[in-house]
Amino acid sequence: MVITDELRQRREAVVGEHMSSENELDFDRTIATFARPRYELIPTGEVFDGEQAVREYFRASRAAVPDQRNELIGMTSTDHAVIVEFWLRGTPATRAGGNGFVCRMVAIFEFEPGGSGIVCERVYWDRETIRRQLSAQR
């Protein structure tokens, strides 16, 4: 199914809202960007399916890295998804006041056919990038 420019723009705006609401820790707004909340973290194999599981993911990930934030590098759209490249930055709670990490990542935001609600955010990154940075700071 080929999508219209209007739908493509609406989806990109939804992804922008999703990312900014995560940075602002406004997870009610983040949840509202989903038609069906689901995160797939490819490097770890973790899947958070459903609103309660996604909310728990938000709680646990921000407990571990309270200042976690994303910074958009680029965004492109396909007929079924918006693909985002971004920097993820943060400082683990165990290193409060210390140096954090920065990791270049890719997220694929899948959408319901013909709709503008996210049905899955699938995130890819190199785990060693973060591990090396945190190990070097010991």
Residues 32 and 127: their CA atoms lie apart, in Å, by: 29
- 60-113 tens-digit pLDDT: 999 999 999 999 999 999 999 999 999 999 999 887 667 899 999 999 999 999
CATH fold, domain 5-136, is: Nuclear Transport Factor 2; Chain: A, (3.10.450)
Check residue 134 and give its pLDDT.
86
Q: What is the pTM of this model?
A: 0.93
